[in-house]
């Protein structure tokens, strides 16, 4: 088998990996680089330009640094990913009026299938994107495991995942947190407990800044709302995502204390809001309740109007996403805006990525002969594994 890292080596994000045999060519992930405004599409013949020359593209999860170039894949190449992941992705894109590719090939966890002479086994894993997969590839007695992005600190048991992994020849693993000093990953349960402790004794407004596609985090703050007797407020965008994610995910249609509000009036959005019937809530209604409201930096003018109905003074804004987004001007302006209204910002977040223990456990379990680090700025970390060779080249035959 042959592996070629087209992009994503020695950097975090933008993964594009080719795995091939003599007769089959597969791509794992088609990411854009983090924070890229205009995507740079690598000149890959047969994938993004020229005549289609790949059997399939397998996408581990819906973060932009893994899926961002999906619209650039040449027609006639089959695309596979998790079905729920695709539905969340598609709903999000449609809501934002972006184009999406239709796909009809979906992973089912641990259901094997063949692409040419490569046996594929997707394995559901925990990450800050819903319905994420590791991907195992097997051909002619050679086995590769590609981790995508994963963590051990979510609600899914990492140990039960480890038990289901086999020994491999090549491990292509992420190492996002290896360049972060003293990285410690809190669990979603830790976050829940801290948030409850922070707000349980007050009746002030509580806001949460988090990505609407981080379904695990939505569950965490929903649980916080239940434990502190607050209603949980989602705007129409988040509500459309939680609705498609499935019945056990808190959404306004199926959960009694989840309500939906609208920040961007338009005919289309009014229609969406109307479909929620008695689960919709306006600013005057919100002002009468104890609540946790999920917000985004684009909601300033809505929150300005809401602050005319209810004082935010003494309130809390949980900042529950990667600290790097604070450098974004919209984000820092939003936080200043909330602080000017008397809202205290509390950082409460845990990464979607594996810490050193999780990576170590994965390596001990899969006993790779070769490790290809990807999605990391510290590949040297892997050198402590003396029983395997660390591959730094972007091409590898085995």
Give the footprint of Zn ion on this chain (CB under 5 A). 63, 65, 149
The radius of gyration of the chain's CA atoms, rounded to the nearest angstrom, is 22
Whether 241 and 88 have beta carbons less than 8 Å apart is answered as yes
Question: Shortest distance, CB of residue 82 to Zn ion, whole angstroms?
Answer: 13
Closest CA to 295 of 327, 273, 263: 263
Residue 232: strand, helix, or coil: strand
Q: What pairing do the DSSP bridges indicate for beta strands 16-20 and 2-7? A: antiparallel
Question: Shortest distance, CB of residue 35 to Zn ion, whole angstroms?
Answer: 12
- What is the C-alpha separation between 12 and 373, in angstroms, rounded? 11
Percentages helix, strand, coil for the chain (3-state, rounded to 5) are 30, 25, 45
Question: Shortest distance, CB of residue 149 to Zn ion, whole angstroms?
Answer: 4
Question: Shortest distance, CB of residue 16 to Zn ion, whole angstroms?
Answer: 12
| Contacting residues for 148 by C-beta, under 8 A, at least 6 apart | 29, 60, 61, 66, 125, 127, 132, 133, 134, 135, 174
- What is the C-alpha separation between 96 and 165, in angstroms, rounded? 38
- What is the C-alpha separation between 92 and 97, in angstroms, rounded? 9
Q: What pairing do the DSSP bridges indicate for beta strands 170-174 and 258-261? A: unpaired
Quick one: 125 or 231, whose CB is closer to Zn ion?
Answer: 125
Question: Shortest distance, CB of residue 348 to Zn ion, whole angstroms?
Answer: 20
Closest CA to 251 of 229, 235, 269: 235
Quick one: 64 or 205, whose CB is closer to Zn ion?
Answer: 64
- What is the C-alpha separation between 132 and 213, in angstroms, rounded? 12
Helices (H), 279-328: 283-287, 300-309
Question: Shortest distance, CB of residue 176 to Zn ion, whole angstroms?
Answer: 7
Quick one: 81 or 343, whose CB is closer to Zn ion?
Answer: 81
Q: What pairing do the DSSP bridges indicate for beta strands 291-295 and 118-125? A: unpaired
Question: Shortest distance, CB of residue 280 to Zn ion, whole angstroms?
Answer: 32
Residue 238: strand, helix, or coil: helix
Quick one: 18 or 131, whose CB is closer to Zn ion?
Answer: 131
Question: Shortest distance, CB of residue 225 to Zn ion, whole angstroms?
Answer: 26
DSSP 8-state symbol, 45: B
Quick one: 131 or 149, whose CB is closer to Zn ion?
Answer: 149
Quick one: 169 or 174, whose CB is closer to Zn ion?
Answer: 174
The enclosing H or E element of 145 equals strand 142-146
Quick one: 64 or 250, whose CB is closer to Zn ion?
Answer: 64
Question: Shortest distance, CB of residue 270 to Zn ion, whole angstroms?
Answer: 34
Dihedral (CA of 217, 218, 220, 225) sign: positive
Quick one: 18 or 65, whose CB is closer to Zn ion?
Answer: 65
The enclosing H or E element of 4 equals strand 2-7
Quick one: 33 or 254, whose CB is closer to Zn ion?
Answer: 33
Question: Shortest distance, CB of residue 17 to Zn ion, whole angstroms?
Answer: 12
Quick one: 126 or 235, whose CB is closer to Zn ion?
Answer: 126
| Contacting residues for 266 by C-beta, under 8 A, at least 6 apart | none
């Amino acid at each position: 088998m042959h592996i070629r890292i087209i992009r994503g080596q020695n950097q975090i994000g933008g993964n594009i990996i080719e795995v091939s045999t003599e007769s089959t060519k597969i791509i794992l992930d088609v990411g854009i680089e983090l924070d890229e405004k205009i995507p740079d599409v690598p000149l890959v013949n047969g994938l993004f330009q020229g005549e289609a020359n790949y059997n399939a593209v397998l996408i581990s999860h819906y973060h932009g640094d893994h899926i961002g170039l999906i619209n650039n894949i040449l027609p006639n190449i089959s695309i596979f990913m998790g079905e729920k992941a695709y539905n969340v992705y598609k709903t999000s894109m449609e809501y934002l009026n972006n184009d999406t590719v239709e796909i009809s090939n979906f992973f089912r966890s641990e259901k094997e299938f063949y692409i040419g002479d490569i046996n594929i086994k997707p394995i559901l894993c925990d990450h800050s994107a819903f319905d994420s997969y590791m991907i195992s590839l097997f051909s002619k007695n050679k086995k590769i495991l590609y981790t995508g992005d994963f963590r051990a600190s979510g609600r899914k048991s990492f140990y039960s995942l480890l038990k289901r992994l086999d020994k491999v020849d090549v491990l292509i693993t992420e190492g996002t947190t290896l360049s972060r000093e003293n990285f410690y990953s809190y669990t979603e349960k830790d976050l829940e407990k801290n948030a409850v402790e922070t707000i349980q004794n007050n009746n002030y407004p509580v806001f949460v800044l988090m990505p609407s596609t981080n379904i695990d985090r939505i569950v965490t703050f929903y649980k916080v709302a239940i434990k502190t007797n607050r209603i949980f407020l989602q705007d129409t965008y988040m509500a459309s995502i939680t609705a498609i994610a499935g019945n056990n995910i808190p959404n306004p249609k199926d959960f009694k204390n989840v309500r939906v509000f609208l920040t961007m009036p338009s005919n289309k959005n009014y229609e969406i809001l109307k479909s929620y019937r008695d689960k919709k809530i306006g600013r005057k209604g919100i002002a009468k309740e104890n609540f946790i409201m999920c917000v985004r930096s684009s909601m300033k003018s809505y929150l300005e109007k809401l602050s005319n109905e209810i004082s935010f003074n003494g309130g809390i804004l949980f900042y529950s996403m990667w600290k790097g987004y604070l450098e974004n001007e919209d984000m820092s302006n939003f936080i200043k805006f909330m602080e000017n209204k008397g809202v205290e910002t509390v950082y409460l977040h845990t990464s979607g990525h594996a810490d050193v223990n999780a990576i170590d456990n994965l390596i001990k379990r899969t006993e790779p002969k070769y490790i290809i680090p990807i999605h990391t700025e510290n590949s040297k970390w892997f050198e402590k594994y003396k029983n395997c060779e660390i591959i730094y080249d972007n091409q590898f035959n085995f």
